[in-house]
Amino acid sequence: MAGSVAEIARSPEAGAGGAFRDRYGEWALVAGASEGLGASFAECLAKRGLDLVLIARRESLLDNLAARLRDRYGVEVRPIAMDLARPDLADALSAATADLDLGVIVYNAAFVPVGRFVDADADALERTVDVNVRAPVVMLHALLPGLERRGRGAVILMSSLAGLQGTPRVAAYAATKAFNTILAEGLWQELREQGIDVIACCAGAIETPGYRRSGKGRVPGMLDPDAVARRTLDALGKGPRVVPGLVNRLVAVLLTCLLPRKTAIRLMARNTGDMG
């Protein structure tokens, strides 16, 4: 444990950990936490002193992550293997968190069917809506009343640069990311007077295990997942939307402010044309 303590002491988050916990609460829930960005959010929150509820479908990955975070940071971790598309999601979440001072909710889970929309399997498209749209709505509706009662908290909804305009070959996924951005922006205004910070993270390419498995090479603006998680947490309370990385912020301005809509869509098509 001596090495773990030294590592925590060196981390930039260590000094602000107590303040972060005091501001938002003792526990954080991360949905889609088994690897990649979700695991990075879990680690960044553990560094800041929060205990964790980790949700994903792959139980072995969750258990391994939970053991590592307990050992490294001395936090309490509850791994819960759960399909976020389950019909009784609200009841399951309420039961899992009823005894906790839940302060931070991170919705990172996503389902991404790749290819032409008309060729996609209907079940895959429905799952995209269930995981990317229905589940965050159900989760927030079930858990936000507890944050309001405590008068503090934070919500992070993971979105994407793909959701800033139509994106061919991931059209359904991009549409769900647009939904999450707009949902976060509306909740940012609704909940700020209740002491709850809400933000949508519109990320560009992230070097996750899933991205590496796709076989695609690095692209301009790509960030590692730890950087995305850290910058997103640091942006809480500063506005309804964050785009991590200078290159990605420039791309967001180009797509939404400088280019005609049809040109922005065609530009994204060139980036996604070899997917699937």
Catalytic residues: 173
Q: How far is residue 138's CA from residue 135's CA, in Å, rounded to a whole number?
A: 5
Residue found by looking up tokens 């060196």 in the block: 10
Q: How far is residue 146's CA from residue 28's CA, in Å, rounded to a whole number?
A: 13
Q: SS3 of 102, please? A: strand
Q: SS3 of 64, please? A: helix
Among the listed residues 180, 233, 177, the one whose alpha carbon sits nearest the alpha carbon of residue 204: 177
Residue found by looking up tokens 């490294």 in the block: 72
Q: SS3 of 13, please? A: coil
The encoded tokens of residue 120 equal 């996609």
Q: Phi/psi at 225 (nearest 5 deg)?
A: -65, -30
Tell me which amino acid residue 116 is: R
Residue 77's beta-bridge partner residues? 52
Residue 223's beta-bridge partner residues? 206
From edge to edge, which strands make up the β-sheet containing 27-31? Answer: 77-81, 51-56, 27-31, 102-107, 153-160, 196-203, 241-242
CA distances from 237 to 89, 193, 196, 203 (A): 28, 12, 9, 18
Determine contact, residues 97/51, Cβ cutoff 8 Å. no
